[in-house]
Chain A
């Protein structure tokens, strides 16, 4: 734990300097703007960063100040983070889609003196809450559109600040501050998405960031020529490590899409070699492909099915380096020529050498689909507190039901209640201004509780996660209740976007289900089912029939696992609105907040545990602009077929 920095590289700015010396003329950042990919070399990026760092000095930034960054992924905002580090400040990236109060909480908590905002939307949010923020001195904005008439006494454009910086010529001071940073100084502070309560500010040191980036880059043999697409929230630890940590360590190029909506087009144009996406992105892509294939001509459909069958059989084996007969190799090549190659190209995944998914369990069909295409899609398990990596799957040992072996430098242990603990060079320093939480999460020896329950599989040494430790509970009769396990099984159906299972302390389990509007809407269109709203579609009897069948199938598979057989869903309803982060029902990273949902929809839960056939409910919703409204609905409650449990349970 006391090892010093590898070859004197003790902070992100040090890595930047090395990259300028080593790869100065290679592309470091690209961004699509005005329909054209603009690029910056390492040397150009360093110049921009220095100009901004000097600009911050002209504003009077002191060592240790917090500089918040809010906006979508853009090179200039990544530079702002490094510029802050250059002058000994702590960058604090914030979620671009966070509501004003959430931003206010973070800004107030870290006492940010400066904010770098992406555009008018972010500036407006900050303006709304500025009165309560005494530490906040200056807002720097990147895109000046619509801001011309704003009061500029405490506001500057990014370009103007850089210009002021260049004029000041205080590069010497920047270099001095940069050189004075130690391996244990704070590199970045990231707010957790907060599944429970207030978000916490996770402090990561240079050591955490550099060691983790080094280990993980080496694990996957990342190279300077690699390309990534930076499209996940900048406030998320993963993006920080992929787009700054690993990018700086390895010297690969970070590409920023034109806007959130153009992500898929941009993905295709860039063709990243290293790609990360949460399961829902892969799910969405697969759903889209399948919907489009349904619409294709009969010959094309036949060809696609044939090629995919070969792909499914041979693709994963080829990826894992298992022996494959010459004939199969030849078949796979043909399939690749006719369908798989073009499909990969359409998805923008032709060049992916290493692909990761994490955050939620991924359905086996989805996983197999991408593996069949010959995409080296792997799973990792991580946390903000671990600087991402806890476990990851090595090449050739990829399965959908595990999250892999411990990452380099990580030790694992499983507590008696099943909770997973880890210790690694990436373990966070502390929760900012929250010693109590720090102490309850990290013990004196550096072991950190993940809050997840799991076990290490015998033989392979792979970790398997069952559920959040605090969500794992007991049912009224003492049987194990692991909601996520069942929810994941439900969510593997393309029709089901989200599921929330209840049952702790009850006699049986029940579930809320959210339909996937894309998949179900398409199905409705195909079957001439008319609907005028999400709400109406969600309560359509035939939709309910389908979901009922899915639930019954899931019950069957849950019953097969004797430990969890009690988690079968006896009754369910399909929700009349999509669970949404704006309503507080989910985190910004789209994890369900059980407690909030249970409280908000307590009437529906009560109904599920009664013998009612339907229930009338009113729900408050928040629109994107912050206004509130109410939606009313009558929901149908249905019973699902339950598979008889094994005899031994009853015999207990």
Chain B
């Protein structure tokens, strides 16, 4: 399939731009196990891109390659038109890539507000000295960062738990706080690792709404992994399907849904 790189406007009025991240012939091995076998995929600016596949298909590994946590043995990662060398996670964060985790990774003892503030860390420039005496740039920076954080709190409707320690929150809300923290970094690319795992229908609906709103309001490009097929098909612009480390399908939800190979490997049930 040859991709058209010109920007286009989706039926619901969002602009999808050029390629933001391009993964070329990625192969990732753990010892003798090939987790990802020669996969190429791109993520375009402004789109919601989903990676799906059965358990052990290599989805999370793929996300970890995108986030720079794993370095593939073979292949190239291009981000915003430049090849990205192997990097430390903080360097990736500075590039404008933020993520949430499959098993929530928040600071349990800190309040929601403080947790989200940590997302602003890459945007703080004042040194330890100024931070310590709380003057000059440190203060103006904090005010600015707090404003951004408050807008996110308002956006995700978590005002009521602003000062609540994260450890006391139910699961669904923790997931939302994690999203808030990722958003606080004002990322170019937001990676969501199973944002709806373990949620009930209502929480899933809320989360879907927020993901769409984030994409729409902030124009954030989103790559997500998800099990729930219904959610994926409704949310995403394009879907990559993986199975045993291989890419077996790539395209719009409708294309993927009708792809024989995908049906065979993953959905199965529709093939009776």
Contacts and interface: CB of A to CB of B under 8 A. Distances in A.
Given A145-B155, A149-B12, A149-B216, A34 B147 contact: yes
B159 A35 contact: yes
Contacts of A261: 159-160
Contact of A265 (B154, B160, B202, B216): B160
Interface string A137-153: 00000000110110000
A259 interface: yes
Nearest to A261: B160
Interface in A20-51: 33-36
B151 A148 contact: no
A34 B155 CA distance: 10
A35 B146 CA distance: 10
B13 A145 contact: no
A259 B157 contact: yes
A259 B160 CA distance: 8
- Size class of the B contact interface (CB-based, 8 Å): 10 to 19
A262 interface: yes
Interface in B112-152: 146-147, 150-151
Interface residues of A, number: 15
Contacts of B216: 146, 148-149
**Which residue of B159, B162, B163, B216 has the most chain A CB atoms within 10 A of its CB atom?**
B159
Interface in A245-264: 258-259, 261-262
Interface in B145-198: 146-147, 150-151, 153-155, 157, 159-160, 162-163
Contacts of A145: 155, 213, 217
Nearest to B213: A146
B160 A262 contact: yes
**Which residue of B13, B153, B154, B160 has the most chain A CB atoms within 10 A of its CB atom?**
B160
Q: A-side binding surface: helix, strand, loop or mixed? A: loop
A125 to B, nearest CB: 16
Interface in A594-616: none
Contact of B150 (A35, A148, A624, A625): A35
Interface in A471-497: none
Contact of A34 (B12, B13, B154): B154
B69 to A, nearest CB: 33
Contacts of A262: 159-160
Contacts of A35: 146, 150, 153, 159, 162
A67 B146 CA distance: 37
Nearest to A624: B202
A149 B154 contact: no
A520 B218 CA distance: 44
A538 B150 CA distance: 40
Nearest to A265: B160
Interface string A297-336: 0000000000000000000000000000000000000000
Interface in A121-157: 145-146, 148-149
A148 B151 CA distance: 17
Nearest to A35: B150
A258 B159 contact: yes
Nearest to B150: A34
**Which residue of A34, A259, A265, A625 has the most chain B CB atoms within 10 A of its CB atom?**
A34
A149 B217 CA distance: 10
A558 B114 CA distance: 55
A649 to B, nearest CB: 52
A529 to B, nearest CB: 21
B204 to A, nearest CB: 12
A629 to B, nearest CB: 11
A624 B155 CA distance: 21
B12 A259 contact: no
A113 B150 CA distance: 36
A148 B217 CA distance: 8
A149 B13 CA distance: 7
A149 B10 CA distance: 12
Nearest to B147: A34
A207 to B, nearest CB: 40
Nearest to A146: B213
A145 B153 CA distance: 14
B70 to A, nearest CB: 36
A34 B157 CA distance: 11
A36 to B, nearest CB: 8
Contacts of A149: 12-13, 216
Interface string A437-452: 0000000000000000
Contact of A259 (B146, B147, B159, B163): B159
Nearest to A149: B13
Nearest to B152: A34
Interface string B205-223: 1000000010011000000
A266 to B, nearest CB: 9
A238 B165 CA distance: 37
Contacts of B160: 259, 261-262, 265
Nearest to A625: B205
Contacts of A33: 154
Given A149-B12, A258-B159, A34 B213 contact: no
Pairs A-B, 9 closest by C-beta atoms? A261-B160, A34-B150, A149-B13, A262-B160, A35-B150, A258-B159, A262-B159, A259-B159, A146-B213
28 contacts: A33-B154, A34-B147, A34-B151, A34-B153, A34-B154, A35-B146, A35-B150, A35-B153, A35-B159, A35-B162, A36-B150, A145-B213, A145-B217, A146-B216, A148-B216, A148-B217, A149-B12, A149-B216, A259-B157, A259-B159, A259-B160, A261-B159, A261-B160, A262-B159, A265-B160, A265-B163, A624-B202, A625-B205
